Structure 1
Amino acid sequence: MSTSPIDWSVASRRARQARELLSTQEAGLRDLPLRKDVRESWKRSLAQLSSVQSPSVLTDDRLRLARERSELQRIWPVFEKLLVPAATDANLLVALADAGGTLLWVAGSNSSMSQAEHVGFMPGADWAERSVGTSAPGIAVATGSGSQVSGAEHLYEQAQQYSCSAVPIRDPRSGQVIGAIDLTGGPEAIATHSLPLLQAAVMAAETQLLLPGAGVVADPDYLDLNRPDGAHLGSQAVSLRHAEILTLLAQHRDGLTSAQLVDELFERRDSAAEGTVRAEMVRLRKVLAASPGRTLTSRPYRLQWELQTTLGRLRRALEQGDVDSALQLFTPGMLERSQAPGVLALRYRAEAALRELVLDRGSAQQLLNLGRQLADSSLLRAALRELPSSSPARSLIVAEIQELEM
């Protein structure tokens, strides 16, 4: 985010020039005359897109479900109060996107919303970089930084009639990006005061997230292993043992026999182990009975529904080489109290794969963050190699490395 005013006429002229150079293949992506954050966004976008087309849009039912399951529903009223009235008067749109770039809510005048729908800027539309390329909300959720994009800087040609500013929203407890708030419209959307206005609204919204979340409908088919107050299946807290069992069964979709589950759960097997497992399964079935459709079969023990877990989503992000998503999903404290051999093996493999992925593809900041999380001097050394020689952070990192290697 720049601290000095941007000359938008120059930025637009350079964006048009960059498009011409790109179309004639007269310059590589790194040589395009774009602002740095826009050029990086073009690079990320074009690496994921074969062509830039209109965004996909959720059906009404899927949009309703996405809203119900999102914690962002708690803070949309904050933005409706603080941003929407003034934005409507200025013919701007306010949009709230989730962490994946899908616009869950869009508000403004009827005429502005109707016009924006023609380019796919509407509730349920996917405005992530992988979908439509460069946009302010797409950059915000991809990088975790505020961004402004003028018309010509959009890769999606139909969006070039608009400009936008967006700021990421973070979970105040975990620091993870959970969405972005966006202003879209004419030149007023990228006025000097736009980012400070959005940042102030986000501060108020993030404070709201610290309050008790009455009425929030969490995904009942997701086992969240990253919450500071323990594992939760949807909005329901579960014991460590039940979290271990569910994690293992979600990993082994074909199921596990009683003997196999004992081997996965216990460091030392004894004569009472299988009886303990059976007793835990009885208790777990009672927990699952609160939600219809969540059943467990026996012989082997197998989940009869599609359960998502934090470790499972982390594994998929690693398989796809998605560094940002993998880092958002990983925390060293995930099931840290577990001594179950099967869970320890899953955590070890995920951590090792994440480490290799970040070493291979990570930015200096990503290397630094993971290195500090894992207290890994080799990751910190890799971050040091990526940082410019003038970076003031270098001396601090060198001290951290020396401390770890003493």
Structure 2
Amino acid sequence: MGDLRYGEFIQVSGVMVGEAGMDWLTAVSQARKAHELLGSHLDDLDALPLRKIVRESWRRSLLNSAQIGQPAMLSDDSLRLARERSELQRIWPVFEKLLVPAASDANLLVALADAQGTLLWMAGSRGAMDDAEDVGFSAGANWGESSVGTSAPGVALVTGSGAQVSGAEHLSERVHHLNCSAVPIRNPRTGRIIGAVDLTGGTDAIAVHSLPLLQAAVSAAEGQLLLPALAVEQGNEDFLDLCASDGPRLSGRPISLRHAEILTILAAHPRGLSSTQLVEELFEQPDGASEGTLRSELVRLRKALSNSPICRIAARPYRLEWELQTTLTRLWHAMEEGDLERALQLYPAEILVRSQAPGISALRYRAQMALREIVLDRGSAQQLLRLGRQSADSHLLMAALRELPLDSPARSLVVAEIEALEA
């Protein structure tokens, strides 16, 4: 891996070469010409002198974004939450060990993005970090195609393959001085793309060996995900994550769906619930055996909590004797504080998605309706589009359409989506 420090462009007859046989000087020159030719109609894209992978990324970016430019940015609290919830936290140390030292020597930086393109972790040379931060390439920024247009991490996440983007091939002119290579990361058990690792900086970022080095590091990281989760994955002792990809987690440890339901419902009712009330919240069709089932579950749950002296469940009524933070409570706090980006990140449709408990369904519905009203009242075009697409809500999409500039290329796509939903 240390060979990365010798990642200067290979010179072949005066032509810069990155990926095998790639003539970057010509590609970048053609991309500059493409920017000059780019008009307001998407049909013009077919005639632009771009590599196919770049042309298709420009097309997607222009179709799916209200405005290409400054990336959407998470607040510090939202970034911390995103890191806590991400399974990528287990493998960032792999990239720190295998890529960061050599990247720093080559004046590059390494970035780890989640499946939506948000940069969760970054490290590298100070100079490269400062240069990237000037254009918004920093932890908490979204570098997906719909946020900033064409970039290597954005392309890798969409195509599922390694990608390299140089200079003017970026759709945003603000980053024409940067080069980047990225490789997607998959959950080895499901095959689902969970993120991408990226090298960004000068010409070394797209050297011929950059993609193979990234792929080797990704292979090692994906192997790490196959190992049992260790204590390093532990989160806050008072946080119940209801949206983890592999099921609910309490303090970073897996917890059963039924136990998560009980804790979530009791956290939402701090004064407590009687056994009859809790049964009604948990069971779709309560019967004579339901209270006995509930008592057995509470015995098992108390045993699971026994290692923590503060995590106790009182009886008569059933209530939590400590303040438990859940994804739902954080969602409500974000809405109360007017932090829509954080609230959308905690989109309630993803909260305990397998649960059919009446109490959970009611909490989820209330949160969905509250978030919808806030976004309708205060949301930007991007936020309206995001929630409208997530919830297949034509009313939200109509509101987004009213907020979009009249010359936005996204308007025709939004109209088509509305028509499809209302058909």
- TM bucket, shorter chain: 0.5 to 0.7
Is 1:98 the counterpart of 2:82? The answer is no
Query: What CA distance in whole angstroms lies between the structure 2 residues aligned with 1:7 and 1:51?
Result: 31
Is 1:221 the counterpart of 2:243? The answer is no
Q: State the partner residue of 1:171.
A: 187
Is 1:110 the counterpart of 2:130? The answer is no
Query: What CA distance in whole angstroms lies between the structure 2 residues aligned with 1:159 and 1:117?
Result: 11
Structure-2 change in CA distance of 1:36 and 1:215 (3 Å): same
Deviation at 1:124, TM superposition (A): 2.8
**RCO comparison, higher one (Cα < 8 Å, 6+):** 2
Q: State the partner residue of 2:203.
A: 187
Query: How many residues end up aligned between the 2 structures?
Result: 326
Deviation at 1:137, TM superposition (A): 1.2
Deviation at 1:157, TM superposition (A): 1.3
Alpha carbons 1:224, 1:233 under 8 Å: kept: no
Look up the SS of the partner of 1:95 in the other structure: strand
Alpha carbons 1:294, 1:305 under 8 Å: kept: no
Alpha carbons 1:169, 1:178 under 8 Å: kept: yes
Structure-2 change in CA distance of 1:201 and 1:250 (3 Å): same
Q: State the partner residue of 2:36.
A: 20
Given residue 241 of structure 2, which amino acid in structure 1 is its aligned partner? Y
Is 1:81 the counterpart of 2:75? The answer is no
Alpha carbons 1:58, 1:124 under 8 Å: kept: yes
Which one of the candidate residues 215, 224, 227 is aligned to 1:199? Answer: 215
Which one of the candidate residues 233, 236, 239 is aligned to 2:253? Answer: 236
Which one of the candidate residues 109, 134, 140 is aligned to 2:150? Answer: 134
CA-based RMSD: 4.8
Structure-2 change in CA distance of 1:258 and 1:5 (3 Å): farther
Alpha carbons 1:250, 1:308 under 8 Å: kept: no
Given residue 26 of structure 2, which amino acid in structure 1 is its aligned partner? V
Gaps of at least 5 residues in structure 1 are 313-325, 347-353, 358-406
Alpha carbons 2:240, 2:248 under 8 Å: kept: no
Look up the SS of the partner of 2:194 in the other structure: strand
Look up the SS of the partner of 2:137 in the other structure: coil
Structure-2 change in CA distance of 1:105 and 1:294 (3 Å): farther
Structure-2 change in CA distance of 1:5 and 1:139 (3 Å): same
Deviation at 1:128, TM superposition (A): 1.9
Query: What CA distance in whole angstroms lies between the structure 1 residues aligned with 2:309 and 2:38?
Result: 53
Deviation at 1:100, TM superposition (A): 2.8
Look up the SS of the partner of 2:38 in the other structure: helix
Runs of 4+ in 1 over 6 A off after TM superposition: 246-251, 255-261, 291-302, 340-343
What per-residue deviation string (whole Å, max 9, x for no partner) do you get for residues 316-374 of structure 1? Answer: xxxxxxxxxx9xx8xxxx86xx9x7879x99xxxxxxx9xx9xxxxxxxxxxxxxxxxx
Query: What CA distance in whole angstroms lies between the structure 2 residues aligned with 1:293 and 1:46?
Result: 50
Query: What CA distance in whole angstroms lies between the structure 2 residues aligned with 1:18 and 1:31?
Result: 9
Structure-2 change in CA distance of 1:102 and 1:274 (3 Å): same
Q: Structure 1 vs Structure 2: percent identity of aligned residues?
A: 58
Alpha carbons 1:105, 1:123 under 8 Å: kept: yes
Which one of the candidate residues 123, 136, 143 is aligned to 1:120? Answer: 136
Written as runs of structure 1 = structure 2, the 5 A alignment for 1:2-401 is: 5-25=21-41, 27-29=43-45, 32-60=48-76, 62-212=78-228, 213-218=230-235, 220-223=239-242, 227=246, 232-243=249-260, 269-277=286-294, 280=297, 284=301, 307-308=326-327
Alpha carbons 2:157, 2:193 under 8 Å: kept: yes
Structure-2 change in CA distance of 1:90 and 1:293 (3 Å): same
Deviation at 1:298, TM superposition (A): 9.9
Given residue 146 of structure 1, which amino acid in structure 2 is its aligned partner? G
TM-score by length of 2: 0.60
